């Protein structure tokens, strides 16, 4: 809940601030690791930008290179993922053993492919990727995704650079290597090799749809499941791996104008091209699509872990954080913050610039909130005179109505005070959101507190309300959970 307050407030303040990238004294902070230049870090390869993303997410023809008919093999799983998800385009299979499957001939050479296939999926070991890339370039394949590891993440940067060079010179958009794949849940395109499954289509509704772009395939899955638990469907999940070709900035640029995407989440282990990434993120934010970013590397051991994961050369974390925050990107430090922040932004994409109001039953919590908000630079706006008078008349004589608002223990006997107290804060023109943090007491009272709080919140649909309960392990009553889910309480 604390993270929600902090990042909502940050978003409200920073999306109205324009600070140019060039105004930040990057060189003074050693953005590149010692001994490296930007040209050492960045290898620009092949087609770039939003157009290069299209054949990955919306292919009309697919080739699986390194296909094996052995059940459970990477090639078999990749093939079945297109079948199970009703891919309507052409599917070509290339494997050394030849033969046929499901009435499709398995070609033995890439040179036998028709020219101009949209997407080739390599289910090959690293040793075979270079020759396969060269042949795909000669057949004018538009895009290639490489799952295999064994490149920069283990120090084999020369092999990765050679792949990148061939792709660049051949006009091939390259995703990977060392990537888990991706899914377009809006169209049912699933390019993955771990298992074969039919993916759930994102509901065709006005619900927010999130694009998740992650250097880590495993973390990508954790984020998606965390959001789904909050009823926030993912429209796309992308694993970028080592980013030898297209990367974060290209996907962000694509989603910035994608009608099916309302928010973009990125997990980055290296910002390869800060200017392009920030420009793409600003475009998304200008189009009303918040960008939430997580990037490890605050410590030396974290930077070492990043290097061994995707071969990233992590630079100065503080400088990177400054750059992205000044662009209006929301920077989070952990997965809990990421999911909490994403939920608020999914429900309320247009921020209110005013600080939060807080409702509680505890004077001690009021003091704790003051400390917390002071430490992170959040202003707690005072109650307006009218709302202060209104609450003074409703509360016991010993209570002092202000923000944070302590309702004392009176709601135990008068649950409708939750409506009045929440209303006083949300109605106040100087307050932009409201956080309720209370002890539930018995299950019956908990449902009453929530219902009265929701009565107030529904009168102010443009102001976020966060309902938090004290006692992390205290179980919620079934009616409480049902009501909260029905009303989509944060």
Provide mean pLDDT across the span 293-307.
59
Task: Please give the pLDDT value at position 314.
Answer: 47
Task: Please give the pLDDT value at position 46.
Answer: 62
**Is 68 in contact with 97 (CB distance < 8 Å)?**
yes
- Does 54 score more than 50 pLDDT? yes
The residue with greater pLDDT, 32 or 187, is: 187
What's the distance, CA 405 to chain centroid? 33
The residue with greater pLDDT, 349 or 456, is: 456
Of 24-33, 179-188, 417-426, least confident by mean pLDDT is 24-33
**Is 489 in contact with 467 (CB distance < 8 Å)?**
yes
Helix 385-394 vs helix 417-427: angle between axes, to the nearest 10 degrees? 170
* CA–CA dist 251, 23 (Å, integer): 26
Task: Please give the pLDDT value at position 75.
Answer: 96
**Is 268 in contact with 295 (CB distance < 8 Å)?**
yes
Task: Please give the pLDDT value at position 323.
Answer: 82
pTM as predicted: 0.81
Task: Please give the pLDDT value at position 416.
Answer: 92
Provide mean pLDDT across the span 428-445.
87
Supply 381's token pair: 């706006």
Task: Please give the pLDDT value at position 35.
Answer: 36
- Does 189 score more than 70 pLDDT? yes
- Does 440 score more than 80 pLDDT? no
DSSP for 353-412, written as a single string: -SPEEEEES-HHHHHHHHHHHHHHT---PPPPHHHHHHHHHHS-TT----SSEE-TTGGG
The pairing of beta strand 119-122 with beta strand 61-65: parallel
Provide mean pLDDT across the span 71-94.
96
* CA–CA dist 440, 121 (Å, integer): 53
Task: Please give the pLDDT value at position 222.
Answer: 92
The residue with greater pLDDT, 452 or 443, is: 452
Of 78-92, 407-421, 430-444, least confident by mean pLDDT is 430-444
Report the side by side order of strands in the sheet with 356-360. 405-406, 356-360, 433-438, 465-469
- Does 25 score more than 50 pLDDT? no
Task: Please give the pLDDT value at position 303.
Answer: 45
Work out the mean pLDDT of the chain and round it to a whole number. 84
Q: Which range among 25-34, 53-62, 231-240, 371-380 has the greatest average pLDDT?
A: 53-62
* CA–CA dist 438, 457 (Å, integer): 16
């Amino acid at each position: 809940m604390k993270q929600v307050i902090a990042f909502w407030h940050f978003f409200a303040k920073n999306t109205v601030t324009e600070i140019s990238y060039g105004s930040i004294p990057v060189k003074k902070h050693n953005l590149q690791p010692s001994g490296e230049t930007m040209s050492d870090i960045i290898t620009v390869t092949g087609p770039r930008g939003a157009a290069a993303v299209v054949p990955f997410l919306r292919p009309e023809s697919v080739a699986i290179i390194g296909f094996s008919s052995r059940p459970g093999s990477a090639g078999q799983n990749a093939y079945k993922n297109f079948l199970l998800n009703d891919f309507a385009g052409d599917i070509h299979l290339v494997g050394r053993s030849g033969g046929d499957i499901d009435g499709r001939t398995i070609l033995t050479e890439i040179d036998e492919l028709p020219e101009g296939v949209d997407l080739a999926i390599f289910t090959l070991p690293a040793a075979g990727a270079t020759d396969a890339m060269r042949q795909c370039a000669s057949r004018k394949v538009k895009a290639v995704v490489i799952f295999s590891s064994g490149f920069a993440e283990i120090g084999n940067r020369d092999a990765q650079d050679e792949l990148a060079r061939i792709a660049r010179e051949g006009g091939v958009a390259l995703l990977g290597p060392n990537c888990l794949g991706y899914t377009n849940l809006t169209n049912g395109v699933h390019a993955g090799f771990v298992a074969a499954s039919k993916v759930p289509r994102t509901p065709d509704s006005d619900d927010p749809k999130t694009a998740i772009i992650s250097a880590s395939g495993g973390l990508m899955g954790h984020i998606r499941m965390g959001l789904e638990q909050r009823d926030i469907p993912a429209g796309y999940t992308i694993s970028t791996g080592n980013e030898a070709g297209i990367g974060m900035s290209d996907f962000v640029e694509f989603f910035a104008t994608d009608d099916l995407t309302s928010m973009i989440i990125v997990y980055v282990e290296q910002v390869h091209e800060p200017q392009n990434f920030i420009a793409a993120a600003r475009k998304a934010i200008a189009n009303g699509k918040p960008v939430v970013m997580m990037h490890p590397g605050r410590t030396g051991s974290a930077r070492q872990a990043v290097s061994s994961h995707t071969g990233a050369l992590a630079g100065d974390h503080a400088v990177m954080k400054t750059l992205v925050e000044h662009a209006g990107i929301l920077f989070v430090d952990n997965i809990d913050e990421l999911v909490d922040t994403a939920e608020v932004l999914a429900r309320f994409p247009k921020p209110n610039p005013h600080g939060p109001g807080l409702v509680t039953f505890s004077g001690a919590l009021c003091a704790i909130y003051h400390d917390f908000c002071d430490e992170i630079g959040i202003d707690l706006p005072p109650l307006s005179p009218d709302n202060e008078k209104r609450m003074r008349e409703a509360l016991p004589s010993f209570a002092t109505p202000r923000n944070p608002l302590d309702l004392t223990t009176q709601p135990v006997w008068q649950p409708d005070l939750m409506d009045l107290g929440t209303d006083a804060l949300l109605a106040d023109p100087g307050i932009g959101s409201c956080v309720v943090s209370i002890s539930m007491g018995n299950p019956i009272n908990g449902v009453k507190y929530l219902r009265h709080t929701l009565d107030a919140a529904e009168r102010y649909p443009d102001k976020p309300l966060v309902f938090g309960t004290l006692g992390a392990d205290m179980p919620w009553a079934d009616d409480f959970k049902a009501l909260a889910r029905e009303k989509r309480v944060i």
